[in-house]
A and B are shown apart, each in its own frame.
Chain A
Amino acid sequence: MEITLNVNGQEHKVDVEPRTLLVYALRENCGLKGAHVGCDSSSCGVCTVVLDGKIPVKSCTMFAVQAEGHEITTIEGLGGGANLHPLQKAFHEQHGLQCGYCTPAMIMSSYALLQHNPDPSEDDIRRGLSGNLCRCTGYMNIVKAVQQAAADMRQPAEAAD
């Protein structure tokens, strides 16, 4: 069946089966390889993308057809080149990644977390990211990265007050 996916502000007309999981439609039909696959049981979260600007979802646990009519944001839509998102910058600066496999999802999940809670405590961050596994970093620097990004992102708003 042909469906239209709105990903990172761009329309993709893709031909999928009803059973095609969103993560495969993004990776194989839209050519966006940032969302990864790490498990069969919806446990690892490395496939996390954001729906409608603030809803994190495991894109392996949603059918592509269900994403029709939603705005999907993937890591590729967050920022790039000279315009990195503060989260992308912070993960780099705080050494919040090693192999990079969990990183796009970790960043997207953090992005959603900060939409709901712009000034999270360490505990909020650890709880908020507990649907995403990382096997390399021990999470210490991921927490620091999210704290840095949260501060960066709050700044313009605080300055405006």
Chain B
Amino acid sequence: MFPASFDFYRAHSAEEAVSLLGEHGADSRILAGGQSLIPAMRYRLAQPTVLVDINQMQAANYITEENGELRIGATVRDSDLEFSDLIRTNYQLMSDVSDVVADPIVRFRGTLIGSLCHNDPSGDWPAAMLAARAKMIIQNKDGKRVVNADEFIVDSFTTAVEEGEMAVETIWPTPSKNTGASYQKIERKVGDYATAAAAVQLELNEDGTVKEAGIGITAVSYVALRVAEGEALLRGQKVTRNLIKAVAAEASKMADPIADGRGSAEYKKEVVGVLVAKGIMQSLERLGRKVEA
């Protein structure tokens, strides 16, 4: 199929992008990896009249770790994360997601920030963003602001990025040595959006109790959700089977999925709890720990 006509601009800096977006208004869009936008345009579900391509924005292509934070620019692709030793060793959750998001070819184009901005209710990255307590830097003609994950994710396909703005950097706190994480996704095949998925990140104290917990679930509501009640249950506790069950139940309780080709609402609601449980267990395992009796 064939997209409707549009005007094409290349932006070489965030300032240029923001000014082009300002100039062309509501029907202009940033073109990042294009792996969501172009298919939507082929179906004519999206018909922007202006595209601002950011792919040649060299300065936006960075992954840097400093002062306990990982900073990622707007043109960093899923495959950059998938093949990065730094990510593989220090950012378990991100590494897990970069192995299962979309398919291996799509990952060579799709960007982390593009995916977050797209904010598909079944997207993988938003759930991870919530669990990892990541932030986004958004730029407009007046300057930049930082929003945390909970504020960034607003509604289906809607984020805190407003008309005339560009997301320029995402910041992920560097997990401590005592942090284990896991991304659990049920997909019907490679390249499928999640039927349900759970992102879990657990930081433990020396005594094995939970210092901090992050749990994000996706594909079970109109947006990715943070399982705040479950996180609260875990904090300060030893992880027992019963506790895991309680946390899983919190996830299922929050979930408000729709029935579709991927499954019935009841199934998704139930299975997302199972995924949270599996995520907690794998996070512990990866720290060389077991579920307490």
Contact = CB atoms under 8 A, between A and B. Distances in A.
Contacts of B2: 19, 21
Interface string B1-29: 11111111000000000000000000000
A130 B103 contact: yes
Interface stretch (B104-112, B172-180, B227-235, B261-269): B104-112
B5 A131 contact: no
A57 B108 contact: yes
Nearest to A17: B5
B283 to A, nearest CB: 23
A61 B114 CA distance: 15
Contact of A42 (B3, B39, B55, B56): B39
A131 B7 contact: no
Interface in A118-150: 127-132
Contacts, number: 81
Contacts of B6: 18-19
A66 B55 contact: yes
Interface string A59-74: 0111101100100000
Interface residues of A, number: 32
Interface of B: 1-8, 31, 34-35, 38-39, 41-43, 51, 53, 55-56, 83, 103-106, 108-109, 190-191
21 contacts: A17-B5, A18-B51, A19-B2, A21-B3, A21-B38, A40-B43, A42-B39, A42-B106, A43-B191, A56-B108, A57-B108, A58-B109, A62-B34, A65-B8, A65-B53, A66-B53, A112-B108, A127-B104, A130-B190, A131-B104, A131-B191
Interface of A: 1, 17-19, 21, 40-43, 45, 48, 55-58, 60-63, 65-66, 69, 109, 112-113, 116, 127-132
